[in-house]
Amino acid sequence: MKINKLLLPLVALAAAVPVFPASAARINNGVTIRATDGTAVNAHGGGVLYEDGYYYWFGENRKRMASNGVSVYRSADLVTWENLGLALTPSGERKNTLQDVAPGRTIERPKVVYNAATGKYVMWAHWEDGNDYTKARVMVATADRIAGPYTLVRTMRPNGQESRDQTVFLDLDGNAYHFRSSEDNMTLQCSKLSPDFLTPLDDFIRAIPGKQYEAPAIMRINETYIGFFSGCTGWRPNPGHMCMTRNITTDSWNDLGNPCIDAKAETTYDSQPTFALKIEGYDYAYMYMGDRWNSSNVETSTFVWLPVCLRTGTPFLRWYSSWDTSLFETMDAIRRAARIEDNGSYVLLSRVADRMVSANGNAICTYEDDDSRNLSFVFEPAGDEAEYRLRNEADGRYLQGAGTVLSLADASDADTQVWRFDRQSDNFYIISNKSTGRVLSVKDGLMSSGAPIELIGSTSASKARFGVYFDKRKHDYEEDNPFGKPYAGESGIGSVRPAADDVIVSCNGGHISVTLDRRADDAATKISVYDLSGRCVVSFEARSRDGYIDVELPPVADGVYILAVDSYVRTTAKIAVRR
């Protein structure tokens, strides 16, 4: 069998995929974002869909307080945004059936997901008649292209229930779910959607009943679902809420309270959640997206976007007025160790606020991720089981306790430099000094960067619990992930179709071969690669010769993907990339 090479250089394919910069471009909070055309970004209550190296941001387009459709913007770095116009434009006349998106209707909190089985982009949004908020409906629209235009399918009350603040979440197994504030905003409900993502199935869950939570933003890490919510105080910000569960269709979400830990935590940093975004290029990098509402002119509302701190197993939101994605280089790399290995190299992470034990001058404290201050220790066995001397890798000095004070000191045989690690049920440790029996603790349980670490007598509070973590960039230790095991199920892009009888798809390393039984020389074929969360990693067009396509896959990380081939029939197949 003759296999012809695709007449398109690999270099050209790679160049077409935008590269996410490691740093430089900065996200600035609470200020007006300007698009590349100089206009203020007008995309409120929105959500983001990643495809082909770009983040597509959909949001409410407003003229002062009035709805003006749904905007869409595009960016490769989350900082520089290209205005693509309106994805959904108000049109037509108002109908008594309420089946329209006519001018004057209210459209809020749009979210877009891609259904690979139908090839459609599906938008869900909160819909009101423009007079008040009593209709409490959703609008469902579809498009063939990610940027639109989107066409109304219907408006409805999902499962016959009120729906105001809402979101759509695409799970790793390809199922989609609709979350909504319902029952006079008293209960957060959840419905699984039909395979085409256009309607809810018959049953729904009262996921968080009776708490008046709204503005849902849902994410998943391994076996754990995390939701950010706000209380119901209109345009006024309030203390945020965070809930977690291992079962998305349950009514037993664990409420962990406010995820914010810095000044203005009581107002969620003057924001309300709208979306939780997976950042490409990392295993566990997510961004909280919130709106800072201007209640007298929604059009001029600004945005608050913050990295989600995940390493302790309890997500935190710290405040950054300005930050860049280089934060994730360390955030994503520091992993909890399954066990302590003799002479292994580890850092200590405070359970209080996901900050590492560090040196600030002569003081031992917690600190932000900063390789120049964070202390990396070699755990030297000290005789008895679970006892170690902690040698600072940077200067060879040892962690030492004297009374309530911690310091770094030259090596000695004294028990003041011996530390016992007692593992707790949450897999964090109580770390005690062999000489005094006193334990490491963050002073007063402070969450701020630079909080002093001292030695105390009590072991009961979380302020005295520390995790043993390692840097996966340097070490290949076994990981103990607090969110459970990595997802190992089926594809996350909807119902995966096996290859059609007359289309054969194969992948060997980074090499894709497609056999088309219906010969169509020089026929255009779209090839798309999706990761297991349903995001399109890369998409390109190939042309067949004698019914065959043979092409090198543009650079993607090793892993399992879904390959979609659109020729005279859409074929999807799971592939493993191992270069």
Q: What is residue 20's predicted lDDT score, i.e. its pLDDT?
A: 36
Q: What is residue 392's predicted lDDT score, i.e. its pLDDT?
A: 97
Nearest to 556, CA basis, from 533, 573, 536: 536
* CATH code at position 404: 2.80.10.50
Are both 310 and 373 inside the same structural domain? no
Question: Which CB contacts under 8 angstroms, 24+ apart, belong to 308-312?
Answer: 308/219, 308/276, 309/354, 310/221, 310/284, 310/286, 310/354, 310/483, 311/335, 311/336, 311/349, 311/354, 311/467, 311/469, 311/482, 312/349, 312/351, 312/354, 312/428, 312/467, 312/482
Q: What is residue 503's predicted lDDT score, i.e. its pLDDT?
A: 65
Residue 351: inside a domain: yes
* CATH code at position 276: 2.115.10.20
Count of Cβ atoms closer than 10 Å to residue 24 Cβ: 10
| pLDDT, average across residues 260-264 | 94
| pLDDT, average across residues 93-122 | 96
| CA 3 to the chain's CA centroid | 41
**pTM, full prediction:** 0.82
Buried b (16+ CB within 10 A) or exposed e, 359-396: beeeebbbbbbeeebbbbbbbbebeeeebbbbbbeeee
Q: What is residue 19's predicted lDDT score, i.e. its pLDDT?
A: 34
Residue 477: inside a domain: no
Report d(CA 87, CA 151) in Å as an integer.
Answer: 9
CA angle 202, 208, 214 (to 5 degrees): 100
pLDDT for residue 497 is more than 70: no
| Last residue in a domain, options 304, 331, 358 | 331
Instruction: Calculate what percentage of the chain has a pLDDT beyond 70.
Output: 88
Count of Cβ atoms closer than 10 Å to residue 241 Cβ: 25
Per the DSSP assignment, residues forming a β-bridge with 59 are 71
| pLDDT, average across residues 207-230 | 96
Q: Give residue for tokens 């394919």.
A: 13
Are both 151 and 300 inside the same structural domain? yes
Residue 483: inside a domain: no
- The total domain count for the chain is 3
pLDDT for residue 168 is more than 90: yes
Q: Which positions ≥6 away from 501 have C-beta within 8 Å?
A: 517
| pLDDT, average across residues 396-408 | 95
Domain of residue 8 covers 1-24+491-579
Q: What is residue 413's predicted lDDT score, i.e. its pLDDT?
A: 92
Are both 428 and 561 inside the same structural domain? no
Are both 234 and 271 inside the same structural domain? yes
Q: What is residue 522's predicted lDDT score, i.e. its pLDDT?
A: 59
Are both 210 and 291 inside the same structural domain? yes
Are both 539 and 399 inside the same structural domain? no
Q: What is residue 536's predicted lDDT score, i.e. its pLDDT?
A: 75
Q: What is residue 18's predicted lDDT score, i.e. its pLDDT?
A: 34
Q: What is residue 228's predicted lDDT score, i.e. its pLDDT?
A: 98
Are both 419 and 520 inside the same structural domain? no
Looking only at the bridges linking them, the beta strands covering 166-170 and 187-193 are: unpaired
Residue 195: inside a domain: yes
DSSP 524-559: EEEEEEE-TTS-EEEEEEEE-BTTEEEEEPPP--SE
Q: What is the pLDDT of residues 319-361, one digit of tens each?
A: 999 999 999 999 999 999 999 999 999 999 999 989 999 998 8
Residue 534: which pLDDT band, with cuts at 50, 70 and 90? low
